Amino acid sequence: MTEAVSVKKLTHFINGELVEGKSRSYSKVYNPSTGEVIAEVPIATAEETREAIAAAKAAFPAWRDLSVAKRAEVLMRFRYLITENMDQLLDTICTESGKTLEDARGEVTRALESVDLAIGAPHLVKGEYSVNVGGQINAYSAKYPLGVVAAISPFNFPIMVPLAQTSMAIAVGNAVILKASEKVPMTSLFVSELWKKAGLPDGIWTVVNGSKDAVNELLENPTVQAISFVGSTPVAKYIYETGAKYGKRVTALGGGKNNMVVMPDADLEQVANAFIGAAYGAASQRCMAISTIVPVGEETADRLVAILKDKISKLKVGSYTEEGTDFGPVISKESKESILKAIDLAEQQGATVVNDGREVDIVKNSEGFFVGPTLLDNVTKEMDICDQEVFGPARNVVRVGSLSEAIDFINDQELANGVTIFTNDGAAARKFTTEIDVGMVGVNVPIPIPVGYHNFAGFKGSRFGEGHMFGPDQARFFTKTKTVSERWPGTTETTASTFAFPSND
């Protein structure tokens, strides 16, 4: 007889305290590996969200007025606390997201890159100064924080995305409200306690758990000055349009249907290994995961598919507690069912099932939300799965006859997050990087995600607004620039009236 799992009642984190929800409405949090409910998270009302915004507004002036160097010291302590509490943090991430330990550790490493960049905020918020621009006038520009800003984060990266969205915002002097995914709220609450221990003043970091009511309050409330969103394309479009309607600065990152082009001269063993990690890691629940491999030429495709079939058949799907697991479950039962339906439809529409993740034992016999690694060959543009972002381990092979055809195929797609090419031909790589209309491009790199000190964002339906998630653009996004022109006349100086610009003197 199995022992019942205790269900924990979670909270919000408002004004430096864990706060119980008032709505009496809760969402279930699952362990995806077992299918068991492990917690219940309160769903905030609009009124609760307004109270959180008011607390952040009250805390903002003192944090704004603290020197940027002192703010950076808090971030340095926070970084230390993450590394000091690594084991507990990794266990929390794995339990509520289903990630393997290796994947969770990699996520935390990427999260720390964002903290590291934010620690350098004193350099990134430096202004400009010009002496005697005319008429003994000096001009300078300075960056100031916006005030209260909000981040809305997805389930697939419980710590990396929230810290990528918020670390710089905090460092440059804003008060931040995080609306974490209700599917993975425990990591954000754990991080909240680390911010508290690091000395971040109460009200500067807030976690509000909720759904549409909380999100709409963040979008519409006049106190909130900026919104950073990461999620699906339809929701990203809604967030952008609604936030912009209410006069906010918005960057909303949507989905990705990322392609890997394989030229005939590429090392196919290397390509296959690169594809498997990039395609199936984290159960393919990454916006930068490779969804489609695009071999150029039938011979290339036949050889590559044969290699992939063998390698994919050896992948192990299971819980993060099991040794040798390559990837774990998807986030929910609904997600699993959606992925299996997408595979069924692709097969009905004529795709060839090379590796069938529906038939893996753990998929059929476990209560966990597992989907086995699936590879579909002979996928064409007419099939739904060719354009649909399947957020799970169902990957496609689209065969093309030339590099130009591959470029046209990719550029015709609505989503344009990431793309990569594998080749030993410099001319082919140059043509590809020049002509491809995608935000993040790799050459012989399986996942073209930039390091934390370079900007991250896609094109077209993968991004709404002009902000980025990683990189120095974060400092620009979360600050406003004030330009001052000043002149100090001498005590005996008199100035006649003039109708010219002062700097023309």
Measured between alpha carbons, how far is 472 from 494 in angstroms, rounded to an integer? 45
Q: Examine the domain organization and report whether 231 and 280 are in the same domain.
A: no
- Cα–Cα distance between 357 and 19 in angstroms, integer? 42
Number of domains forming the structure of the chain: 2
> What is the full DSSP assignment across 294-348?
EEBSHHHHHHHHHHHHHHHHT--B--TTSTT-SB---S-HHHHHHHHHHHHHHHH
- Quickly tell me which residue has 């340095």 as its tokens: 76
pLDDT tens, residue by residue, 412-466 = 999 888 999 999 999 999 999 999 999 999 999 998 887 777 777 888 888 988 8
How far apart CA 49 and CA 474 sit, in angstroms, is 25
Q: Do 289 and 229 lie in a common domain?
A: no
**What is the CATH number for 368?**
3.40.309.10
Are 208 and 263 contained in the same domain? no
- Establish if 496 belongs to a structural domain: no
pLDDT tens string, the chain, 505 residues long: the values are: 345 567 899 999 999 999 999 988 999 999 999 999 999 999 999 999 999 999 999 999 999 999 999 999 999 999 999 999 999 999 999 999 999 999 999 999 999 999 999 999 999 998 889 998 888 889 999 999 999 999 999 999 999 999 999 999 999 999 999 999 999 999 999 999 999 999 999 999 999 999 899 999 999 999 999 999 999 999 999 999 999 999 999 999 999 899 999 999 999 999 999 999 999 999 999 988 999 999 999 999 999 999 999 999 999 999 999 999 999 999 999 999 999 999 999 999 999 999 999 999 999 999 999 999 999 999 999 999 998 889 999 999 999 999 999 999 999 999 888 999 999 999 999 999 999 999 999 999 998 887 777 777 888 888 988 888 887 888 999 999 999 999 887 755 556 666 666 666 6
- Looking at 176, 178, 278, 287, which residue is catalytic? 287
Q: Is residue 504 part of a domain?
A: no
CATH code of 90's domain: 3.40.605.10
178 and 38 within one domain: yes
Residues 44-70 have pLDDT tens digits of: 999 999 999 999 999 999 999 999 999
Q: How far is it, in rounded angstroms, from Cα 498 to Cα 252? A: 47
Among left, alpha and beta (phi > 0; psi -120 to 50; other), residue 470 is beta
Based on the residue annotation, tell me whether 287 is a catalytic residue of this protein.
Answer: yes
DSSP 423-457: -S-HHHHHHHHHH---SEEEES-SS-PPPTTS---
Q: Kindly state whether residues 245 and 105 are assigned to the same domain.
A: yes
Nearest-angstrom CA–CA distance, 314 and 469: 35
Residue 456 domain flag: no
Domain contains 490: no
Q: Give CA–CA dist 111/47, Å, rounded.
A: 31
pLDDT digits (tens, 9 = 90+) for 86-96: 999 999 999 99
Residue 368 lies in a domain: yes
Contact 260, 278 (CB under 8 A): yes
Report if residue 186 sits inside a domain: yes
Tell me, yes or no, whether 488 lies in a domain: no
The answer to the question of residue 94 being in a domain is yes
Q: Produce one character per residue of 160-181: b if its CB has 16 or more CB atoms within 10 Å, e if not.
A: bbbbbbbbbbbbbbbbbbbbbb
Range of the domain at 356: 258-443
Alpha carbon distance 370, 331 (integer Å): 9
The pLDDT assigned to 2 comes to: 46
Residues 143, 263, single domain; the answer is no
DSSP 41-56: EE---HHHHHHHHHHH
80 CB-near residues (< 8 Å, 6+ apart): none
